Amino acid sequence: MDNIAGRKPALGWAVNISVILIVLLWIFPTVGLLVSSFRTADQISSSGWWKAFFPTEQTEQFRTADPDGRVQDGDVFVVEGVIFENAEANIASWGTSSRDVSAYAPGETADLGDGETLTLNEDGTYRWTGNDEQISGRGQRFFVTATQPPEFTLRNYDNMLFGGSSDNISKAFFNTLTVTIPATIIPILFAAFAAYALAWMDFPGRALLIAFIVALLVVPLQLALIPLLKLHLSIGIGKGYLGVWLAHTGFGLPLAVYLLRNYMAGLPRDIIENARVDGATDFQIFIKIILPLSFPALASFAIFQFLWTWNDLLVAIVFLVDSSGDTTVMTRHIVELLGTRGGNWEILATAAFVSMAVPLLVFFFMQRYLVRGLLAGSVK
């Protein structure tokens, strides 16, 4: 009696907390990847992405300009210059010794002994003075602690999508689309017809056929890779888009048929019988009644199939990618980047986010078709 519909479940708070945890678990790495993809390699190595939105305090080592460019001013020699190109950095403090990097405030003058001085102003200009002997050799070393404003760049995306280097993923991106879109549409076309027949048409052996399709659900696809590739090669399809479309279609069909058949079998019998009395043929019933009403099931399968084929590496490597590299896909390209550019996180983060963005868009676009209440008003 506790589970009467409409009653608040006793563990409601547990459900809520779990949902929040799952959402955080999902959002955290995604946002991290997104933020990292807009940062430079230096920023990524100096601070975590979660600090990217706040001004950072960085201590950097500088040297004054070479004493060769010194100017004589009376009996002292002077070297002047500026340490920052951009004036946005705020100098918090500075120092001349590595043991005390924040000994002076900006504008103060450091006494380096025997009349040698160094002054660093707030705007980043400095003035180094001393006698002939002191202003010689290399420039004076000093340390500046400055707060940098948050800074983001589109350069990574520019490089990855439009750059001329071998890192460019735009080709792999379009290759992946070429694989994914037909590999999503073809199985839906086949499966919808099959599902209608299995749900609503009477023919001998129907139950057996359904059982067989359900049995196919549990066949691991790795088992079929080699025989299928041999078949493709022997009938002349070879490695290529056609082969990978067929492979994805084949591996996706059992689930598609099963999912759609179950959904269609749940549609009210009266509607279909009424259409039959109204004079519709099986094909017309399928096109005009079943297909529009099955939209939620079609959409959910389309989302699944799209995600699988988009994220697939194994099937693509076996059936598509050859040594020419012309048909490489995103997943394959990212694997290669991991090998060649393992340290360049900004490149990896950008590539990863480009490859994630499409499934996210597809999901948010399609989920509005996963509507409830499509049958409202049909029966009762």
Partner 1 sequence: MGRITLDKVTKAFGEVEVIPPLDLTIDDGEFVVFVGPSGCGKSTLLRLIAGLEDVSSGEIRIDKQPATHLPPAKRGLAMVFQSYALYPHMSVRKNIAFPMKMAGIPEAEQNRKIEDAARVLNLTDYLDRRPGQLSGGQRQRVAIGRAIVREPAAFLFDEPLSNLDAALRVGMRLEISELHERLKTTMIYVTHDQVEAMTMADKIVVLQKGVIEQVGSPLELYNAPRNIFVAGFIGSPKMNLIEGAEAAKHDAHTIGIRPEHLAASKDAGEWKGTVTVSEHLGSDTYLHVTETGLADTMTVRVGGEFGVKHGDTVFLTPDATKIHRFDAQGLRIG
- Which residues of the shown chain bind partner 1 in the complex (CB under 8 A)? 268, 270-271, 273-280, 284, 288-289, 292-293, 373-380
Rounded CA separation 215/143 (Å): 70
Burial 170-181 (b: 16+ CB within 10 A, else e): eebbebbebbbe
Q: How far is the CB of 378 from partner 1 (least distance, A)?
A: 4
> How far from each other are the two terminal CA atoms of the chain, in whole angstroms?
27
Give, as one character, the DSSP assignment of residue 313. Answer: -
Q: How far is the CB of 266 from partner 1 (least distance, A)?
A: 14
Nearer to partner 1, 287 or 313 (CB): 287
Nearer to partner 1, 158 or 278 (CB): 278
DSSP run (H or E) holding 185: helix 170-200
Q: How far is the CB of 263 from partner 1 (least distance, A)?
A: 15
Nearer to partner 1, 109 or 274 (CB): 274
Nearer to partner 1, 343 or 377 (CB): 377
Whether the CB-CB separation of 85 and 93 falls below 8 Å is answered with no
Token pair in block for residue 113 = 């002994």
Nearer to partner 1, 361 or 371 (CB): 371
Q: How far is the CB of 267 from partner 1 (least distance, A)?
A: 10
Q: How far is the CB of 56 from partner 1 (least distance, A)?
A: 56
Whether the CB-CB separation of 361 and 207 falls below 8 Å is answered with no
**Cα angle value 312/315/316 (rounded, 5°):** 75
